[in-house]
A and B are shown apart, each in its own frame.
Chain A
Amino acid sequence: MGKRVGMEVAIASAEAAALCKFDVAAVYPITPQSHVAEHLSDIVHEGRVDASFITVESEHSALSAAIGAAGTGARVVTATSSQGLLYMSEVLPIASAMRLPIVMIIANRAVSGPINIWNDHSDIMPMRDTGWISFFADNGQEVVDMTIQAFKVGEDRRVMLPVNVNMDGFQLTHMVEPIIMPEQEEVDRFLPAYVPYAALHPDNIVSMGTLGMPEIYAEAQKSKDVALVNSIKVVKEVWKDWEKQFGRKYEPIQSYRTEDADIALLTMGSMGETAEIAVDELREQGVKVGLLKIKLWRPFPFDELKKAIKGIKVLVVTDRAISFGGPGGPVFSEIRSALYDQPKRPKVVNYIIGLGGRDVTVEGFMDMVRRAAKGKLSERYEIYGVRG
């Protein structure tokens, strides 16, 4: 059942892609993703997978090359971060519109300015509506598992969409920690060979990515939306398969000690486990608190959220990005909107935390819960710990 190794998480993500025997990697390096790019390049150079590594001059080209390669029916991996992801932005919706199951490993990082290389989610949030499936990992093990799962979900004939796996920059990418690395034979059993729906080939001429006139554009967009909405069934199915084979459970929203909770924290990404410790400590003090961790951001797990919040009176949503001039962080807006038509819904409080690598401690989470207990903060949303 896999081998327990100590490994830097960025490198482990590249190893996970190698276990999936990608055909093409098209990647441009950027901090804190660079070790992913370097290691994918090493893997190809050493001949450990029968693949091409396309060196490109930018992220825009990286994703464009990935699309071209995926169009020929190749299994493609790419990776980026921050400004790199923003630079890819005009190509992101093309990948999903062309229904190409590219897997992108994202080392989440703040966006400029001021220039900041540290972690938050302000790179992925503006890319929310580009039609990609989005996973968020808590730890190195989840990064590895989700990278492998991403290929299976994306390539499923019922889905055929690109998938991004989000891992927090530095907090995860630069961490050496224990990871159970699946064996090649196990991954081969889990992940079938990719059979593309259509492929560019000189002997079989097809057009991809054509013009969509007003008569068809709305239908094309609806088709993408339906595919993304319906993909949640496949995500859950793949996660069940994973659990059966590897024994590690994945759910769109993972609940922690929420059974009798009055108040619950909600996190996405690597701060989830730190928040678990805060929940444990508050429980010892008699506070009925739990934690919800979102693992599947797109498609948004509406039904799972409704189930998960049962009995909870105050939901403390943490965001790691700002929607400037908006109602609160992007996760908060979605959660509140998703609960609007519920007859019984919790009060929803929003803290924006960990911007640009600002550390959040166990005590910080405990303080947030205590201050949110009444279900209201003095502001519509609070940037936690901010000065001025």
Chain B
Amino acid sequence: MLEIRWHGRGGQGAVTSVELLSLAAIEEEKYAQGFPSFGPERRGAPVTAFNRVDDKQIKIRSGIYHPDVVVVLDESLVALVDVAEGLKPTGILLVNTTKTLAELKKNIKFSGKIATCDATGIAWKELGVPITNTTMLGALLKVTGVVKIDSLDNPVKERFGRIAQKNMSAAKSAFDQVRIIS
């Protein structure tokens, strides 16, 4: 089972990301859970959201404390919250940033694999807005292979309608551009 924690700010679409990833996994006949950090949300405040994906039925319904993957949608969070908290040493930390490893290491205490992607740059170019949730989803699929990127097609179409294509090309750009830097 793969467990993922997403960090974003209220309004950046972390909850949409977990929903889209769950739907894509379910479309592949896998089992998945997607859920927000339960409780009230405020625009701009740090939020988390979670995924579980597995080939067999997922029974566990308690929280995720030791994720395999952490995705950070907003690089300003790195200085505010311990984004690597509980992350398995064998796991991956995926950050939307243009910073170097040395710069990131100032705030992040994690000695495992770190991957970065300039999702904000891609989102500006492809979508015209700095909303990076679908873009970072593309990056996540590249570094984990948890579902095929094509499996996002239907969920993204259903969710975004007219702007689905733009979101898919943003996801695909991130899929191509994400780099593992440590």
Taken together as a complex, chains A and B put the C-alpha atoms of A277 and B58 apart, in Å, by: 10
Tally A residues with Cβ within 8 Å of B.
28
Taken together as a complex, chains A and B put the C-alpha atoms of A119 and B61 apart, in Å, by: 12
Point out the residues of chain A lying under 8 angstroms from B40, CB to CB: 31, 117
A208, CB-defined interface residue at 8 Å: no
Q: In the bound complex, do residue A362 and residue B60 qualify as a contact, i.e. CB atoms below 8 Å apart? A: yes
B39, CB-defined interface residue at 8 Å: yes
Given contacts A176-B18, A176-B19, contact A362 B33 (CB under 8 A): no
B90, CB-defined interface residue at 8 Å: no
Point out the residues of chain B lying under 8 angstroms from A357, CB to CB: 38-39
Q: In the bound complex, do residue B39 and residue A175 qualify as a contact, i.e. CB atoms below 8 Å apart? A: no
Point out the residues of chain A lying under 8 angstroms from B29, CB to CB: 4
Q: Which of B12-31 contact A (CB under 8 A)?
A: 18-19, 22-23, 25-27, 29, 31
Point out the residues of chain B lying under 8 angstroms from A270, CB to CB: 61
Q: In the bound complex, do residue A170 and residue B38 qualify as a contact, i.e. CB atoms below 8 Å apart? A: yes
A123, CB-defined interface residue at 8 Å: no
Residues in B lying within 8 Å of A, measured CB to CB: 18-19, 22-23, 25-27, 29, 31-36, 38-40, 58-63, 65, 155
Enumerate 14 A-B pairs (CB-CB under 8 Å) in ascending A order: A8-B19, A32-B38, A117-B39, A174-B38, A175-B35, A176-B19, A177-B34, A177-B58, A178-B31, A270-B61, A271-B61, A273-B60, A359-B63, A361-B63
Q: In the bound complex, do residue A6 and residue B61 qualify as a contact, i.e. CB atoms below 8 Å apart? A: no
Select one of A31, A175, A176 contacting B23, CB under 8 A.
A176
Point out the residues of chain B lying under 8 angstroms from A381, CB to CB: none
Q: In the bound complex, do residue B32 and residue A176 qualify as a contact, i.e. CB atoms below 8 Å apart? A: yes
Given contacts A175-B34, A176-B18, contact A277 B59 (CB under 8 A): yes
Given contacts A6-B23, A6-B26, A6-B27, contact A174 B59 (CB under 8 A): no
Residues in A lying within 8 Å of B, measured CB to CB: 4-6, 8, 31-32, 117-119, 170-171, 174-178, 270-271, 273-274, 276-277, 357, 359-362, 364
Point out the residues of chain A lying under 8 angstroms from B35, CB to CB: 170, 174-176
What 6 additional pairs, Cβ within 8 angstroms, besides A6-B155, A32-B38, A271-B61? A8-B19, A31-B40, A176-B32, A274-B61, A274-B62, A362-B62
Task: Determine the residue in chain A with the shortest Cβ distance to B18.
Answer: A176
Taken together as a complex, chains A and B put the C-alpha atoms of A357 and B38 apart, in Å, by: 9
Point out the residues of chain A lying under 8 angstroms from B22, CB to CB: 6, 176-177
